[in-house]
């Protein structure tokens, strides 16, 4: 499988080596990198069978022998940006609510859009 060398996604010095391969209903990307926080990340971008408006991204990050996996669900917006934001705020609260839940407060002025 061909490998590519890219800049580190977190803007640290150094390079990451990666591959992309087709998997059922999607694509898997794999990155590995060295340095102080050497590790790897595998991401599966998959569209559920029969659903053309949704894409799931399952990411597994491994650093120092410890791993964490997250799943993001992207749904194609059927309407305006405003409708999308209203739906998101119904599920998650506004940006300030999300930051409070995470225990993070951005430097002001802050515009998440």
Cα separation values, 44 from 17, 19, 56, 100, Å: 17, 12, 8, 29
Q: What is the pLDDT of residue 101?
A: 73
Mean pLDDT for 71-99 is 79
Residues 58 and 104 in one domain: no
Residues 65 and 94 in one domain: no
pLDDT at 104 over 80: no
Number of domains in the chain: 2
d(CA 31, CA 17): 5
Mean pLDDT for 47-51 is 88
Residues 24 and 40 in one domain: yes
- Local structure of residue 70 (DSSP, 8 states): E
Residues 58 and 12 in one domain: yes
Residues 54 and 89 in one domain: no
Q: What's the predicted TM-score (pTM) here?
A: 0.64
- Show the domain range for 93: 77-113
């Amino acid at each position: 499988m061909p490998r590519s060398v890219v800049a580190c996604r977190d803007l640290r010095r150094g390079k990451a080596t990666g591959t992309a391969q087709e998997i059922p209903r999607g694509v898997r990307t794999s990155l590995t990198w060295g340095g102080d926080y050497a590790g790897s990340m595998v991401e599966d971008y998959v569209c559920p069978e029969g659903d053309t408006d949704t894409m799931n991204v399952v990411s597994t990050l491994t650093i120092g022998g410890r791993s964490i996996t997250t799943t993001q669900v992207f749904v194609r917006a059927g309407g305006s940006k405003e409708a999308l934001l209203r739906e998101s705020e119904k599920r998650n609260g506004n940006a300030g609510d999300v930051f409070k839940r995470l225990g993070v407060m951005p430097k002001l002025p802050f515009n998440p859009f």
